[in-house]
Structure 1
Amino acid sequence: MVNRRDWLKAATLAAFAQGEAKLIAAPPVAAKADSMILLWMAGGMAQTETFDPKLYTPFQPGLRSEKVLSTFPSIPTVLDGVRLSQGLERTAKILDRGVLLRSHRVGDLGFILHSRHQYHWHTGYEPPQSVAVPHMGSFISRTLGPKNPDIPAFIDIGQNLEIGGESDSLKAFHTAGFLGGEHSPFFITDPKDAVASTRPSEFLGMSRFENRYKFYKELVAKSPLQQNGGAFQKESLARSFENSHRLLTSPAAKAFDLSLEKPEVAAKYGDTRFGQGCLLARRLVEAGARFIEVTTEYIPFRFWDTHENGHSRAEGMKQTIDGPLSQLILDLEERGLLDRTLVVLATEFGRDMMMEGKPGQLVKNQVTVPDVMTEPKHYGMHRHFTEASSVLLFGGGVAKGKVYGETAPERPCRIVKDPVTITDLHATIYSLMGIAPDTAYEVEKRPVYATKDGKGKVVTGLLA
């Protein structure tokens, strides 16, 4: 878990980065959703092994790699003629509650790095940028404000930011950027220990915590950093301290305590970090959180980062997400929350056995795939494919029981119908949340928009 000291450090750096960002008025948009849950499949989920299955070819020694499109057979769903990959049986039963987008196209960023594509998806802007662009959750937090002032408006669950390798790059978009420290994510690495985030440590105790809280406020008030950052940054940081302090003494903190959930309900989500993160997300929506991200976590060469043993890893990841995803949707529906809660499942790019990049935009291969497979570790979707990936959307004004977009049945499985870019997908998401796609903040005398250059277009085919 990211401790309170690290969180305060991150908030301080973000808060003093730039001056106050002034909201530029945009035409009002009627909100269909009050809250959003982003289920982030970190590492590059293979679309042909999950939500867009193709011809199944079982493994056998001597199999030519180019012949493999999917390593699992497909299964029927509640929607006539729509099939998913084996291992998503519970998800197959809830597709009538939402939209399956099969034609999501991510950006061309050159040599493919997970952190760069995750930055692009979460902020809407290609890195690097001359200003600290905020995470989508921070943009929503700042523009809409909290639903419940005692609950952090933006909560991030499941990602350890101290992983080495691309750690600093991951931190670059896990901030509020120019919007100020009070809109930074409230980090919970392990949802099973989430309640610890709302209490002083046993070693510290409430009395010592109160003294430290008083000291922090005095430190910020006297800090010479205010000479560079201005009054806004100082006030934003002070408000972030006040928000954190208020949570400690609020009854709303019970939402973070998973031990209060009925055991039979908690069991339906599974005992994994992602599963318990989905359970926590549902509790936080009930308590009034505005934006929650739950991730399967990005760690190089693990989880969805299937550079080898792709088949067995995909099998394990589907076991990880299938139950929690379906149970989250059913629980929100049962509690009357789904219609006002937008749930989005997405990933930074798709995968293909043979192609790195996409047709017409190939990049340097990062994985060697033999022409002929000799052992099971060669079997699976290994390379980063930016032409097509799948997204699921539920609740919050999206259509029900619909498949949008189409990819070719043969390699390279490119989009053949209704492509949706990150910019237009974000425009759709922001619009459902009541934020116009051309909403902007003035930063360093220039506008920074919700969608790139304010040009995002709502994909009406995804809406109810």
Structure 2
Amino acid sequence: MAVHQTCDGARRRDFLKVGSLGLAGLSLGNFLRFTEAGEVRTGAIAKSAIFINLPGGPTHIDTFDMKPDAPSEFRGEFQPIETNVPGIHICEHLPELAQVMDKFVILRGVSHTLAAHQLGSEYVNTGNRPLPALEFPGYGAVVSKELPTVPELPPFVSIPNSAQRPGYLGVQYAPLHTGATPRSGQKFSVRGLELRNGLTVNDIERRSSLRRDLDTAFGQFERQNDLLNGLDRFSQQAYDMITSPRARDAFDTSQESPPFAEMFGESPFGQSCLLATRLIESGVRFVSISTGGWDTHRDNWTNLKTRLLPPFDQSLAALLRGLEMKGLLDETVVYVTGEFGRTPKINTERVGRDHYPRAMFMLMAGGGIAGGRVLGESDDKAMGPLNDGFSPDDVAASFYHSLGINHHKEYHTATGRPVMIVRDGQVINELFS
């Protein structure tokens, strides 16, 4: 998937090299040494989640919140089309999503005040307004802590990377970055899960045996060192993942049937969505997908209709259809967002739209969310919420609610400071009615 740089220099980048794990420098073994399963939660509607990040800030008024009756300096070049839900219209360049409108909800009038890419991204990836002295954990870190998973599989996978960080929860809840996206019809593997350069399972078993011998020899030292506490258990998890066919198969999109795979197309985003469905089906709890390029200050409509909207439309529609075909949509919550919207009034000099956090869209589906609806509303020029609107905090609280996670639950930082999972915001009950 391409590397994108936004106008303020914040790179929507592949943070790490192909197959690297968590934060820079973490090997698979180190990643798993720092990973523990969270406690089981009851009453969950969803069992897993897919978070789709659109770095750069997609325009709301040209996609899911169109204003065809607004003055020409606002409404833009595109026309709305009908969806399969009477009364709901979206952009003409989203025909596939129009046919699956019954499967998702459009949130309009989502609003905040952070117009910088990095700050806006931190906000929508955590559900908490950023603070200078505290790094909040992203959704994937919280889900990894709260929901159990099987030892052979990572709880949090990002494709190809993620803006979400573990924050004050610590590096043990960092994601496994794939570092790349699958290619159509080709086996996809993640470095660290594949045995390369002639390495065999027997080699891994011999090394594991040697490690156990060394652990026995230095066991007294390890028991006295908090940093090494639990090393044996986490090393065993790394061994389980490397030697497990289940882990390798989970990432192998070439095993999907051709008719199913063809729905997703050949774009990097489409193949990422295909991989996400397979990972969720295999038991991964949280998958994030990042697809950038939405910073359309210039040539907004050309970029949208030729480069951005066609793969987004095909891929997201296929993701929703694919999850439903696999019987996974009801138990998987899907959350789609950028960091903000774009100015309703057109920048005529650059034929584009600029940063605009006062109004944006978000999409949600699955996980007990009743699709086929629009919640919230912007004013007649899409300049802000018509009434109270929603905040990213409200959507975050709703996202956690679908997973049976109490967003008011308190964690503690390394210094003992109590912090709620979502400090502000309330569950949007209409999503689940």
> Shorter-chain TM-score category?
0.7 to 0.9
* CA distance in 2 between partners of 1:199 and 1:422 (Å): 38
* CA distance in 1 between partners of 2:271 and 2:404 (Å): 29
Match for 1:451 among 416, 422, 426?
A: 422
Secondary structure of the corresponding residue to residue 364 of structure 2: strand
* CA distance in 1 between partners of 2:409 and 2:378 (Å): 32
Shift in Å at residue 204 of structure 1?
Answer: 5.9
Q: Deviations over 1:375-407 (max 9, x none)?
A: xxx333x20111111111111011222110111
Q: Point out where structure 1 has 5 or more consecutive residues left out of the alignment.
A: 58-63, 162-169, 298-302, 356-368
User: Structure 1 251/101 Cα, relative in aligned 2: closer, same or farther at 3 Å?
Assistant: same
Residue equivalent to 1:77: 83
Contact 1:182 1:239 in 2 (8 A): no
* CA distance in 2 between partners of 1:212 and 1:42 (Å): 42
Q: Which amino acid aligns with 2:421?
A: A
Q: Deviations over 1:5-47 (max 9, x none)?
A: 56474558xx99xx999x9x99x76211000111111210101
Residue equivalent to 1:42: 55
Q: Which amino acid aligns with 1:338?
A: L
User: Structure 1 271/436 Cα, relative in aligned 2: closer, same or farther at 3 Å?
Assistant: same
- Counterparts of 1:206-285 in structure 2 under 5 Å? 231=226, 234-235=228-229, 242-252=236-246, 253-285=248-280
Match for 1:331 among 322, 325, 331?
A: 322
Residue equivalent to 2:393: 423
Shift in Å at residue 264 of structure 1?
Answer: 2.6
- Counterparts of 1:23-62 in structure 2 under 5 Å? 30-55=43-68
Contact 2:130 2:136 in 1 (8 A): no
The structure in which a higher percent of residues are helix is 1
Residue equivalent to 2:11: none
User: Structure 1 126/417 Cα, relative in aligned 2: closer, same or farther at 3 Å?
Assistant: closer
Secondary structure of the corresponding residue to residue 343 of structure 1: strand
Match for 1:390 among 361, 377, 383?
A: 361
User: Structure 1 337/274 Cα, relative in aligned 2: closer, same or farther at 3 Å?
Assistant: same
Secondary structure of the corresponding residue to residue 284 of structure 1: helix
Contact 1:140 1:291 in 2 (8 A): yes
Contact 1:158 1:274 in 2 (8 A): no
Residue equivalent to 2:136: 133
Residue 437 (structure 1) aligned with residue 410 (structure 2)? no
* CA distance in 2 between partners of 1:407 and 1:216 (Å): 60
Contact 1:255 1:283 in 2 (8 A): yes
Residue 462 (structure 1) aligned with residue 431 (structure 2)? yes
Query: Percentage identity across aligned positions?
Result: 29
Root mean square deviation of aligned Cα: 3.6
User: Structure 1 95/8 Cα, relative in aligned 2: closer, same or farther at 3 Å?
Assistant: closer
Contact 1:101 1:404 in 2 (8 A): yes
User: Structure 1 5/310 Cα, relative in aligned 2: closer, same or farther at 3 Å?
Assistant: closer
Shift in Å at residue 325 of structure 1?
Answer: 0.9
Contact 1:20 1:178 in 2 (8 A): no
Q: Deviations over 1:90-122 (max 9, x none)?
A: 10111112211112113x23xx32122111111
Residue equivalent to 1:150: 152
- Counterparts of 1:42-121 in structure 2 under 5 Å? 42-55=55-68, 67-106=73-112, 108-109=113-114, 112-121=115-124
User: Structure 1 244/132 Cα, relative in aligned 2: closer, same or farther at 3 Å?
Assistant: farther
* CA distance in 1 between partners of 2:42 and 2:360 (Å): 28
* CA distance in 1 between partners of 2:69 and 2:158 (Å): 36
Residue equivalent to 1:364: none
User: Structure 1 429/240 Cα, relative in aligned 2: closer, same or farther at 3 Å?
Assistant: farther
User: Structure 1 130/95 Cα, relative in aligned 2: closer, same or farther at 3 Å?
Assistant: same
